[in-house]
C-alpha cells in the first residue's frame, strides 16, 4: 500500500513537454510490461481476506494512472510536429531518372518515318514461323544452306516451325491477304544460329520493304533507296549498286553508301574502300509473286532488306554488336536526346 502511494507521487510529478514524453509515461506505467501490470501480479501473494480491499486499491490506482496519462496527452497534443522528424510536404520530390530510347529503336523509328512519307504501311508478324512463310514462299530451295539446322533455330517439338531468319515472312503474310498495290515495310527481330562475337549475334533487327504494282521498275527501286539514305544520312551521301544474288529477287543488287566515318577517304570501317554496304535489294522473283497468286505478267515489284544494327553502327559508330543487348547503362545513356 505504501509502495503504491509512493508510485502515485512519482506519477504526479512526471514532466511531459512532448507527445513522445507522454507516450513514455504510458509505457512505463500502463504498458504491457509496465508498473501497473507488475503490481497486479502481486495479487497472488495477498491473503484471501485482504484481496477484495487490495483489488479496490489497485482499481483506484489504475484509474489514477490513466487519468494522469490522459492529462499529459491532452497537454502535449499537437507537439509531434515540433519533434523534428516531420516531412515537409512542400519540398520538391526526388527526381526520377528518365530513361532513353534504345539506339536500335531510335534508328528503326527514323527508318519507318522516312518510308511512311513515301506511302509505305508498317506490317508486323510472328517471330515463330512455319517453313513455308520463311523459306518456301521466298523461293529458297530445299537444299539452301539457310535451311540447315546449323544456320536456323528450329522448334524441336514442331519440326515445321522455326525462328524467322528474316522479316520476309511478314511480307509473305501481307501478300497472302492483299492484292497489289502493296507497299509495306516490315521491321522486326530475326534469328540466326551464329556464334556470338563483335560482328555476329544469334538475333538482329531488320527492316524489309516491298512494293508491288503495275509498272514498278528497277529505276523506282534505285531512286527510292537513294532518297531513303539521303534522308537518313544527309544530302551529301553517295550511293552505288553492285550486282548480287538472292533467291527471292531477280535481278538483285546490294547498295553501298559513301563511308560516313571518313567521307570516302578510306578508314578501318570501310576497309579503305570509301564505301560501306548497307542493304540488299532486287526485283521480286516471278516465282515469289506466283506463290501468292499475283500475276507476274501484270505486276512487278521491288524488295529490299537492311539490318538495323548495321545502320546504327554507321550512324553512331557502335563497333561491337553485343553492346546492343548487354543493357549496360553507360552505353545506353549516351543516346539521351538522340530521338
Contact residues: ligand 2NL, CB under 6 A: 168, 171-172, 206, 208, 210, 246, 248-249, 280-282, 284, 288, 303-307
Report, in Å, the least distance between residue 309 CB and ligand 2NL: 10
Report, in Å, the least distance between residue 330 CB and ligand 2NL: 29
Report, in Å, the least distance between residue 306 CB and ligand 2NL: 5
C-alpha cell at 149: 539446322
When the beta carbons of 172 and 318 are compared against ligand 2NL, the nearer one is 172
Is 34 within 8 Å of 65 (Cβ atoms)? no
CA distance 162 to 312: 27
Report, in Å, the least distance between residue 258 CB and ligand 2NL: 19
Q: Please report the sign of the dihedral spanned by the C-alpha atoms of residue 242, residue 193, residue 111, residue 102.
A: negative
H helices present in 144-270, as ranges? 168-177, 218-233
Report, in Å, the least distance between residue 285 CB and ligand 2NL: 7
When the beta carbons of 54 and 164 are compared against ligand 2NL, the nearer one is 164
CA distance 176 to 210: 13
**Beta strand pairing call for 203-213 and 182-191:** antiparallel
When the beta carbons of 134 and 171 are compared against ligand 2NL, the nearer one is 171
When the beta carbons of 68 and 190 are compared against ligand 2NL, the nearer one is 190
Q: Nearest CA to 202 among 144, 246, 163?
A: 163
Count, residues in the chain: 339
Report, in Å, the least distance between residue 227 CB and ligand 2NL: 18
CA distance 57 to 43: 11
**DSSP tag of 165:** S
When the beta carbons of 68 and 288 are compared against ligand 2NL, the nearer one is 288
Return the residue nearest ligand 2NL (CB atom).
305
Cross-sheet strand order for the sheet of 300-307 = 121-122, 182-191, 203-213, 300-307, 275-284, 249-258, 239-246
When the beta carbons of 206 and 224 are compared against ligand 2NL, the nearer one is 206
CA distance 116 to 302: 17
When the beta carbons of 37 and 240 are compared against ligand 2NL, the nearer one is 240
When the beta carbons of 103 and 307 are compared against ligand 2NL, the nearer one is 307
Within 13 Å, how many C-alpha atoms sit on residue 182's CB side?
Answer: 28
Report, in Å, the least distance between residue 315 CB and ligand 2NL: 16
Cβ neighbour number for residue 102 with a 10 Å cutoff: 16
**Beta strand pairing call for 128-130 and 161-163:** antiparallel
Report, in Å, the least distance between residue 148 CB and ligand 2NL: 18
Amino acid at each position: 500500500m505504501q509502495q503504491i502511494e509512493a508510485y502515485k507521487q512519482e506519477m504526479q510529478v512526471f514532466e511531459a513537454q512532448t507527445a513522445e514524453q507522454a507516450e513514455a509515461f504510458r509505457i512505463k506505467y500502463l504498458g504491457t510490461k509496465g508498473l501497473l501490470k507488475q503490481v497486479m501480479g502481486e495479487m497472488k501473494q495477498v491473503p484471501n481476506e485482504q484481496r477484495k480491499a487490495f483489488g479496490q486499491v489497485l482499481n483506484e490506482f489504475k484509474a489514477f494512472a490513466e487519468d494522469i496519462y490522459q492529462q499529459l496527452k491532452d497537454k502535449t497534443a499537437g507537439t509531434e510536429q515540433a519533434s523534428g522528424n516531420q516531412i515537409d510536404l512542400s519540398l520538391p520530390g526526388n527526381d526520377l531518372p528518365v530513361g532513353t530510347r534504345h539506339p536500335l529503336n531510335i534508328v528503326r523509328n527514323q527508318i519507318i518515318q522516312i518510308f511512311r512519307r513515301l506511302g509505305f504501311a508498317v506490317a508486323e508478324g510472328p517471330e515463330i514461323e512455319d517453313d513455308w512463310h520463311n523459306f518456301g514462299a521466298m523461293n529458297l530451295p530445299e537444299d539452301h544452306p539457310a535451311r540447315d539446322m546449323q544456320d536456323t533455330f528450329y522448334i524441336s517439338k514442331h519440326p515445321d516451325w522455326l525462328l524467322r531468319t528474316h522479316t520476309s515472312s511478314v511480307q509473305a503474310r501481307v501478300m497472302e491477304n492483299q492484292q497489289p498495290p502493296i507497299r509495306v515495310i516490315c521491321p522486326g527481330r530475326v534469328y540466326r544460329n551464329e556464334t556470338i562475337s563483335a560482328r555476329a549475334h544469334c538475333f538482329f533487327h531488320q527492316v524489309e520493304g516491298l512494293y508491288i504494282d503495275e509498272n514498278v521498275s528497277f529505276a523506282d527501286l534505285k531512286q527510292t533507296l537513294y532518297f531513303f539514305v539521303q534522308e537518313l544520312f544527309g544530302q551529301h551521301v553517295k550511293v552505288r549498286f553492285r550486282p548480287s544474288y538472292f533467291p527471292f529477287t531477280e535481278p538483285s543488287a546490294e547498295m553501298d553508301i559513301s563511308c560516313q566515318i571518313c567521307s570516302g577517304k578510306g578508314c578501318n570501317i570501310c576497309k579503305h574502300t570509301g564505301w560501306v554496304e548497307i542493304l540488299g535489294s532486287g526485283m521480286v522473283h516471278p516465282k515469289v509473286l506466283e506463290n501468292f497468286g499475283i500475276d507476274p505478267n501484270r505486276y512487278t515489284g521491288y524488295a529490299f532488306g537492311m539490318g538495323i544494327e548495321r545502320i546504327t553502327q554507321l550512324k553512331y559508330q557502335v563497333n561491337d554488336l553485343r553492346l546492343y543487348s548487354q543493357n549496360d547503362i553507360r552505353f545506353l545513356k549516351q543516346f539521351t536526346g538522340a530521338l
